[in-house]
Structure 1
Amino acid sequence: MMTSRRVFVQGLRIEAAIGIYDHEHGRTQPLIIDTVIDLGLHEITGLKDTLNYELVGKIARDIVAKGHIRLVETLAEDMASELLTLPHVQKVELSITKPEALSDADRAGVTVVYAH
């Protein structure tokens, strides 16, 4: 018996104008987005019954296109909130990392979890 259904996107790379420091303004930085999205347990007979992976990238690019974002937390929360409004989505766990945030670390970032 199936108890959960998850769609995921890992390693989505986008460039964003993001950050609070002066050296982060006027340029873009790479971000890496990972998300796991829980869907309902309804029958899936076609794409309309599930989540199109491409929507994750589209949502990220649409938010980034609006202009400079001060905090990675804001981007993560905005993305997760929008994903949660899509049909069949029950829960969203979304992580965004900034590979260039710390010179002595591989990545730093945030994870948010939203659910109905």
Structure 2
Amino acid sequence: MTQIEPSKISALPRVEPAERTHQIFIRDYLIDMQIGVYEHEQGITQPVRLNVDLTVTDHLGPMNDDYHNVVCYETLAKAIHAYALKEHINLVETLAEGVADICLEHQRVINAKVKVEKLTAVANTASVGIEINRSKHLNR
């Protein structure tokens, strides 16, 4: 058996603890909005369903049952609604990216998964759409 010299032993690098997170979600948010590239979709509204899943870093310190210590899903929903109704959007991809950007603007939101469904765009389907996953790169 080989003996190791104590001077050759070094400590392993310290690993930072995993950041504590939680999920916030908005389910089946229905918005009648102007969306679509086809001529028959111009100047009319159609129903769109949004589902948003957010990974959020936990509040540092006690929660204290204080509204200011959370990421407010109602505030996000209102911002998403205003964005969706601002002007005609051609692509569901554009809508999904815009919603993800709105969510990631919040300092504590580190990941946004956004699903956009057009409910009446294609006959004999419940919905068609897109789902994206966007993350914020954190500088540590």
Q: TM-score, normalised by structure 1?
A: 0.90
Which aligned runs of 4 or more in structure 1 are off by greater than 6 angstroms?
none
Q: Percent identity over the alignment?
A: 27
Distance 2:23 2:30 in 1: 21
Structure with the largest fraction of strand: 1
Distance 2:118 2:20 in 1: 33
Q: Is the 1:31–1:99 Cα contact (8 Å) retained in structure 2?
A: yes
Instruction: Give secondary structure in 1 for the equivalent of 2:90.
Output: coil
How far residue 76 of structure 1 moved from its aligned partner, in angstroms, is 0.8
Q: Is the 2:20–2:57 Cα contact (8 Å) retained in structure 1?
A: no
Instruction: Give secondary structure in 1 for the equivalent of 2:86.
Output: coil
Picking from 10, 13, 30, the partner of 1:13 is 30
Aligned to 1:27: 44
For structure 2, the 5+ residue unaligned runs are 1-18
Q: TM-score, normalised by structure 2?
A: 0.76
Q: Is the 2:76–2:102 Cα contact (8 Å) retained in structure 1?
A: no
Aligned to 1:41: 58
Distance 2:78 2:97 in 1: 15
Structure number with greater CO (CA < 8 Å, separation at least 6) is 1
Larger radius of gyration: 2
| Alignment: residue pair count | 115
Q: CA RMSD in A?
A: 1.6
For structure 1, the 5+ residue unaligned runs are none
Letter in 1 for 2:38: Y
